[in-house]
Amino acid sequence: MLDETNKKIQDKKPSEYLNSVLERLDNNKDKLKELMKGHYISKSALEYLKDDNFDEFIKEREKQLKEAIMENPMLTPSRWSFR
Mean pLDDT of the chain: 85
Cβ-based neighbours of 40, under 8 Å, separated by 6 or more: 61, 64, 65, 68
> Could you tell me if 25 and 61 are in contact, meaning their C-beta atoms sit under 8 angstroms apart?
no
Domains of the chain, by residue range, sit at: 13-79
User: What does the pLDDT look like over 41-73, one tens digit per residue?
Assistant: 999 999 999 999 999 999 999 999 999 888 887
Report field, pTM of the whole predicted structure over 0.85 = no
User: Which one-letter DSSP state was computed for residue 76?
Assistant: S
